[in-house]
Amino acid sequence: MFDSDLDRLTSPNLEGATDVRRRVFLGSAVAALGGLALWQWKKPAVLEAASAASEPKDVTIVLFSDSGQRLKQVRIAQVIKTAAEWRKQLPSGVFDITRNADTEIAFSGKYWNLHDKGLYRCICCDNAVFSSDTKFDSGTGWPSFYQPIAAQNVRTETDRSLLMTRNEVLCTRCDAHLGHVFDDGPAPTGLRYCMNSAALNFVAAEKSGAKSG
């Protein structure tokens, strides 16, 4: 569902299933920078996630206004779409990152150097995921936060691709790949949520009428 290869899996004939569980490395010469993955790759795990996603379930998230105000916790249906539907909705680079766990090139995104007040929503489903209040300059070239806007709004999954064990960060509501979380962040959490700008949509506090400061 999140991968064109998956179309084969969803057909009655499952013969291609093992073939698509491969890892595709589209190499990059800059891959070994301090364990940060700059490689482009496809993640076999999306196939498992996608096949499990055939039955949408409810998830718990916290709603936020565009001005960053915490509204309420809700049980809400997961956003489930086919790969074709996501492709239609998202620019191709954004599709590759959010639905196929690709990683944008460091210092290439819109938000790594943004210091404006506001919140960051999932580009796929508008779920609020991070706030400028917890953003810090990590020097990595990716927007970095020490915690999500609400613990419920993102989830993590162990990612053993690229010969590393990392914790992948996904949107709770639509399962978009957002980035990874590492344990070398600043106080108070010691965590570094290393995100892809392309997976996020920034909503400036000023635009929504909130006080900036």
Active-site residues, by number, are 194
- Is residue 194 at the binding interface for Zn ion, with CB under 5 A as the rule? no
Say how far apart CA 123 and CA 64 lie, in whole Å. Answer: 15
Q: Which residue's CB is nearer to Zn ion, number 46 or number 174?
A: 174
Q: Could you give phi then psi for residue 157, rounded to 5 degrees?
A: -145, 145
195 neighbors 169 (Cβ within 8 angstroms) = yes
Name which of residues 123 to 162 contact Zn ion (CB under 5 A). Answer: 124-125, 127
Cα 207 to Cα 200: distance, rounded to the nearest angstrom: 17
Closer CB to Zn ion, 176 or 198, in the complex: 176
Cβ closer to Zn ion: 75 or 115? 75
CB 183 within 8 A of CB 163: no
Nearest CA to 105 out of 177, 32, 26, 37 is that of: 37
The answer to whether the CB of 210 falls within 8 A of the CB of 119 is no
Nearer to Zn ion, 98 or 132 (CB): 98
In the list 174, 194, 195, 203, the residue contacting Zn ion (rule: CB under 5 A) is 174
Is 197 near Zn ion (CB under 5 A)?
no
Applying CB under 5 A, does 171 fall inside the site for Zn ion?
Answer: yes
Site for Zn ion contains 121 (CB under 5 A):
no
From 14-22, 68-76, 156-164, 167-175, span contacting Zn ion (CB under 5 A): 167-175
Coil, strand or helix: which one is 102? coil
Partners of 119 in the β-ladder: 131, 203
- Closest contact distance (angstroms) between CB of 173 and Zn ion is 5
How many residues are given for the chain?
213
Closest by alpha carbon to 200, among 82, 77, 114? 114
Contact residue for Zn ion among 47, 83, 94, 122 (CB under 5 A): 122
Options 2-10, 66-74, 144-152, 174-182: segment touching Zn ion (CB under 5 A): 174-182
Amino acid symbol at 170: L
Residues in the interface with Zn ion (CB under 5 A) total: 8
Q: Which of 121, 135, 166, 173 binds Zn ion (CB under 5 A)?
A: 173
Q: Residue numbers of the site for Zn ion (CB under 5 A)?
A: 122, 124-125, 127, 171, 173-174, 176
